[in-house]
A and B are shown apart, each in its own frame.
Chain A
Amino acid sequence: MAHVDQLVGSYRAWAANGASGAPDWLRDLREGGIARFHELGFPNMKQEAWRFTSVAPIAEGSFELAKAPQKVPTLEEIQPFLLFETGHRLVFVDGFFQRSLSMPLFDDVQSLARVATEHPDLVRQHLGKYAASENRPFSALNTAFVNDGALVHVPAKAAVEFPIQLLFLATGGKPVVSHPRNLIVVDREARASIVETYAALDDGAYWTNAVTEIVLGDGARVDYHRVQQESSRAYHVATTQSHQGRDSTLNLHFVAFGGRLARHDIGAVMAGPGGTLILNGLYLLGGQQHADHHTTIDHAADHCESHEYFNGVLDEKSRGVFTGRIIVRPGAQKTDSKQTNNNLLLSADAHADSQPQLEIYADDVKCTHGSTVGPLDPRALFYLRSRGMGEDEARRLLTYGFAAEILGRMGVVSLRAELDRIVRVRLAA
């Protein structure tokens, strides 16, 4: 428990010094977070939700709270990570907002820290209301250190024309921890498309502990994409929690390429009737990488539709874990929920765990799920070879198809092209 105490101590020091100017409500939120984390401690593998993932490297490691970078990277240095020429962009380095690298075109796309101080009402109304901390120590810890991050607010009936990029870069020099906290609020009948990227400027063993809350008003539509390409030595822990109003449409896309150890809790609450949700994810791992996606779709209202697709491509000694929990609450009639998780094992040492968890408390619903774990289908290999493709080309094409199936659902062309490029590079290696 040494490390829990270290983190709590680090919080006390920060609260007394760096964060001492916070308004009461924010201080209370943080105090609640640290108290919860202190009580829960780090999760262990005896807990059902953590059966396949050990966080010992984090719990037993030593991470200092990240400081504002002494040397801010230049625009040129971050160019490889920039997806769009136009539109809003917020850039964070080691968790700290970088005004000089960002393009916040209007006040509603801003650094959370600034808005929390200057216009607290919106933040206060939503922050921490969706990403539950009761049994989630990492989310609680993030809440304790809530400071910087992105705030995206799209007012009712407005449409943001260009995708908004939120870019989180780690300098990676030291074993530090940052706790980015993002809040995306898209009011009724408004539309937005967002790309949130986590990447590294250097190959360090740092730790990112991020939380993003996404709130959709009635009839809103959000296309949210999250790309995790942390350094191959990094630890990445994240919570993404969405909350949908009536007749809203949410497309959530997740791609995980990076990190030595990554754990992502994805929660989607369909709170109003008639909502549509797509949860579309890819993990492409190699080396000793371990990525765990723990998803929960909560059908809390009737007539909602959710489609979940996760594909894993696992090479070398990597391990992919997928949990797909679907809850259909009493009264959530006419729920239509489909879930698939397909895992491709490219080496005898790669491993995948796939577990669907359906909890259905309504009787007039349609829920299907399916999962596969295995090597390339020999029938498919023969099919391609019988068309003239060499064995290597056939393998590459089939493997690429696993990734392309997921990427093909993304509507943002420049993002899809970039991810496609990364996948091809990885598969050619």
Chain B
Amino acid sequence: MAKGTGLLEVKGLRVAVAGNEILKGVDLAIREGEVHAIMGPNGSGKSTLAQVLAGHPAYTVLAGTARYDGKDLLDLKPEERARAGVFLAFQYPVEIRGITNSYFLRSALNALRRERGEAELDPIDFLQFLEQKLEAIGWDDSMMNRPVNEGFSGGEKKRNEILQLAVLEPRLAILDETDSGLDIDALKTVAETVNKLRGPNRSFLIVTHYQRLLNHITPDVVHVLADGRIVKSGGPELALELEAKGYDWLRDAAMVS
């Protein structure tokens, strides 16, 4: 199951938002190329984990560490994390008025390229680059000249996150409930694209409430988060078990422990 070397190691992470402790000691280790799924009931802290790893300023880290590629992840600004290869696909992507998707993506890509000491892409070079990416994932360019997420359907917003993932080529992609609000066709499209983007140099942390996304994306490891702690970890079969039995038996286990 273990693939490459360690990429992310979270230890004893405790996080609060607005004075409420949400994560109460999370341990998690992801190696290069691995796909981990985090499942759990509503309010268990799944999204908090995703957001705090991306550096959302609303969350306060109370204790614990998160090492990413040898760096102290929690010490980095959100943009520094992005430039180091961390990507969060948002549960609720934000609308950006007046900025086309294409312009936005180019600005983001150039921010990463500057970090890597590569030349920035001008609009024409970027379009060529984008066309290759779109072709690779089998998508058209219909979303490119619309303002970012503005007037997008729920499904389009989620697809747009995955498109950004494809363009920005992160080393650690965190998908925060990317499956929520998707109909079955959109879910399949998104899952197929994620599968195409899997590779030895890219790890995924997929946060989801339901098992159905994992029918299409087979994870290496499944974790169950309940009441701010990972209470169980296992292989893909754990997701099926959760689907059959629900979360209550694990939540009770969390209370006891």
Contacts and interface: CB of A to CB of B under 8 A. Distances in A.
Contacts of B54: 386
Given A388-B111, A389-B111, A404 B98 contact: yes
B98 A401 contact: yes
Interface range for A: 20 to 34
B120 interface: no
Contacts of A390: 79, 111
Contacts of B81: 386
B245 interface: no
Contact of B112 (A388, A397, A400, A401): A388
B53 to A, nearest CB: 10
Given A393-B111, A397-B99, A388 B94 contact: no
Nearest to A344: B97
A54 B54 CA distance: 48
A383 B147 CA distance: 14
B108 A387 contact: yes
Contacts of B57: 378, 382
A297 B47 CA distance: 46
Contact-residue bracket for chain B: 20 to 34
B99 A400 contact: yes
Contact of A389 (B90, B94, B95, B108): B108
Contacts of A383: 90, 93-94, 96
B132 interface: no
Contact of B56 (A380, A382, A400, A405): A382
B94 A379 contact: yes
B175 interface: no
Contacts of B55: 382, 385-386
B180 interface: no
B82 A401 contact: no
A401 B108 contact: no
A404 B108 CA distance: 18
Interface in B158-197: 164, 168
Contacts of B87: 386-387
A61 interface: no
Contacts of A173: none
A171 B1 CA distance: 77
Contacts of B79: 385-386, 388-391, 394
B83 interface: yes
A388 B99 contact: no
B115 interface: yes
Given A398-B96, A403-B98, A405-B97, A386 B107 contact: no
Interface in B72-104: 77-79, 81-83, 87-88, 90, 93-99, 104
Nearest to B95: A380
Given A377-B94, A393-B111, A386 B82 contact: yes
Interface string B225-251: 000000000000000000000000000
B97 A382 contact: no
Contacts of A386: 54-55, 78-79, 81-82, 87-88, 90
Nearest to A379: B94
Of B57, B98, B99, B164, most A-chain CB atoms within 10 Å: B98
B111 A401 contact: no
Closest 5 CB pairs of A and B: A405-B98, A401-B98, A388-B111, A388-B82, A387-B108
Given A391-B79, A404-B98, 5 more contacts: A384-B108, A401-B147, A402-B97, A404-B99, A405-B147
Interface of A: 342, 377-380, 382-391, 393-394, 397-398, 400-406, 408
